[in-house]
Amino acid sequence: MTTKIHQLSPRLANQIAAGEVVERPASVIKELLENCLDAGASKVDVDVEQGGVKLMRVRDNGSGIDKQDLALALSRHATSKITSLDELEAVQSLGFRGEALASVSSVSRLTLTSNVLKQDSAWQVMTEGRDMVAQLQPAAHPVGTSVEVRDLFFNTPARRKFLRTEKTEFGHLEEVIKRLALSRFDVAFSLKHNQKVIHNLRPADTQAAQEKRVASVCGPTFMQQALHIEMEAPGLRLWGWVGLPTFSRSQADLQYFFVNGRVVRDKLVGHAVRQAYRDVLYHGRHPAFVLYLELESANVDVNVHPTKHEVRFRDGRLVHDFIFRSLHKALAQVRPETPTGGGLEQLGVVQNQPVAQGLEAGVFAGQTQVDLGQQNGNAASSSAGYQSQTWQSGLNQPSPQQLQEQTKVYGSLHGDAVAPANPTGEARQVPALGYAVAQLHGIYILSENAQGLVLVDMHAAHERIVYEKMKLSWAGQGIKAQPLLVPISMAVSSREADHVETAQDVFAELGFVIDRAGTENLVVRQVPSLLQHANVEQLVRDVLADVVTFGSSDRIRAAHNELLGTMACHGAVRANRRLNHVEMNALLRDMEVTERSGQCNHGRPTWTQLSLSELDKLFMRGQ
């Protein structure tokens, strides 16, 4: 009697594993480069042809592989990186499953050459996608390893048919190298495609050098529009660069997040980032960022997916809240005078690509050009004498007596409010957004600052100011709850009902009182006051889905903020409202001390800068 269950042949097992690990040339490059980095390489050279389908050659100066280990390196589940479960739970290396080389060799013609210190010569082993005894032969090679992969999927034509064009495959391959180049600033990377040098990245051991590499990988415009952040909490550290809200993208194609040096795309992380940007990002746009999260390796599981692009945190809610708070705080502190990345000359980057237009490339890049340091602080604080009188009533016209007093205060501090230019040419401290010169068509404020001309959308700016004041007022009062006259019963899954019982404190903070009435039934007895007329059942389901997935929810705050934003929009100064110079300057001073004043409540920019050099170009001065 023949058995129905049998063992797969090593070749078939390897090709099945290759289906998980090797999707396209980029997958091969990822595995090979991770091996280079794990071997302690400080320099990695990549040479590919025809998008990597014809040839991929990766060479490093790492520790190399001993002669007796070369053949074993091509076997399944053979690795030098872990030996026990304890090491797996605290793994530090990028690759550790021991399937990469075996899988790649089963669907290509692979040559592995390596040398180690104090070895007489290098040794080489070759395979051609079939079961064979690896034949060792001596070779010439410095200390380190070279892996040459030719004719990918030559023996699996069905897989080869799914490959895209050369340009597409190379684009995916290049993206892998970009990610690893951002993860390891201490390693030099070079990339050639069809004998043409594409990237030549030197090691970056200073922040300036790191910003230069980020600019080379992500584009110099991103670096000009990015803020450097560094936040710490017990057991957690978040650092990197986040793009200003005005530098947004139509796609989520400029988002790099690293956990302990490993690039990941995690839905918990993505939710925290979107939550931090939601109040300042234009509808349908995506933020840009390069961020690094560091935590104890025992608190994150990286072995939850074959490609290791996903991770699982031991305390997901803690990590989510830390990322959200860090980014939310950083974005809230952006003021007109906040310094961002340097110019292209400072970065040492030559921009040889066409400059995109509109929000895609940050058409409001002028928001980053004002950097007056402490000079602005004096002007902002000294304007408080007339600021509160003029603005707290929503731009009501001041009385003649108030106007005379405000003008006198303003004149004593800054000279002539109408004509702030200094006829003597002496250096003077100028606020970041300068002094109002005129109002254009009842919509825009034209202001003169040290750099040139500032244009402000007065409705959008005042809308943000009113909105932030309303949010502060609401936050001080906390969430007010309203008991329901008739409690609402709703059916849920037993898993969701369990979460309601275990997360009562979370729902209480959000203004809910929810009781479990059965295995799969809930009773809602109390809801937030401002949302008592909303669809309560749908709101509870949405909040519950967030709590189940992320351990918390910000839907109540989002709904409150949306209502406050609508109220602020209606309360802000409207177009065609004529302002005097004191009112315009008071608005500018308020903008300089208001959180997120660079964008209105809907994410639209509130101001932009035209430098003197840009104005000179318009009139061909100096040409």
Amino acid in position 607: W
Instruction: Tell me what pLDDT residue 280 has.
Output: 86
pLDDT digits (tens, 9 = 90+) for 479-533: 778 899 889 999 999 888 988 888 888 788 778 899 999 999 999 999 887 677 7
Phi-psi region of 59 (alpha: psi -120 to 50; beta: other; left: phi over 0): beta
- The alpha carbon dihedral of 210, 214, 220, 222 has a sign of negative
Contact by Cβ (8 Å): 59, 32:
no
Contact by Cβ (8 Å): 144, 114:
yes
CA atoms within 13 A on the CB side of 557: 13
Instruction: Tell me what pLDDT residue 601 has.
Output: 78
Contact by Cβ (8 Å): 592, 380:
yes
Residue 372: band (very low, low, confident or very high) from pLDDT cuts 50, 70, 90 = very low
Instruction: Tell me what pLDDT residue 438 has.
Output: 93
Q: In which element (H, E) is residue 130 found?
A: none
Q: Which residue ranges make up each domain of the chain?
A: 10-201, 207-347, 369-623
Token pair of 417 as six digits? 């409010």
Q: Percentage of the chain surpassing pLDDT 90?
A: 37
Residue 397: band (very low, low, confident or very high) from pLDDT cuts 50, 70, 90 = very low
Please state, in angstroms and as integers, the Cα–Cα distance from residue 485 to each residue in 482, 508, 517, 524, 538, following that order: 9, 18, 18, 11, 18
The mean of the pLDDT values for the chain is: 80
pLDDT digits (tens, 9 = 90+) for 27-76: 999 999 999 998 999 999 999 999 999 999 999 999 999 988 888 888 76
Q: Which residue has the higher pLDDT, 285 or 46?
A: 46
Q: Given this structure, which CATH class describes domain 369-623? A: alpha beta
Treating both helix axes as pointing N-terminal to C-terminal, what angle do 400-414 and 384-391 enclose, rounded to 10 degrees? 150
Residue with tokens 């404020």: 445
Phi-psi region of 295 (alpha: psi -120 to 50; beta: other; left: phi over 0): beta
Contact by Cβ (8 Å): 116, 64:
yes
Residue 346: band (very low, low, confident or very high) from pLDDT cuts 50, 70, 90 = very low
Topology of 10-201 in CATH? Heat Shock Protein 90 (3.30.565)
Contact by Cβ (8 Å): 342, 226:
no
Which residue in 579, 320, 610 sits closest to 443, CA to CA?
Answer: 579
Residue 97: band (very low, low, confident or very high) from pLDDT cuts 50, 70, 90 = low
Strand partners, 115: 144
Residue 173: band (very low, low, confident or very high) from pLDDT cuts 50, 70, 90 = very high
Q: Does domain 207-347 have CATH number 3.30.230.10?
A: yes
Is the pLDDT assigned to residue 19 strictly greater than 60?
yes
Q: In which element (H, E) is residue 188 found?
A: strand 188-193
Instruction: Write the burial class of residue 290 (CB in 10 Å: 0-12 exposed, 13-18 middle, 19+ buried).
Output: buried
Contact by Cβ (8 Å): 436, 584:
yes
Contact by Cβ (8 Å): 528, 481:
yes
Is the pLDDT assigned to residue 176 strictly greater than 90?
yes
Alpha-carbon Rg for the chain in angstroms:
30
Instruction: Tell me what pLDDT residue 475 has.
Output: 72
User: In this predicted structure, which of 56-65, 77-86, 606-615 has the lowest mean pLDDT?
Assistant: 77-86
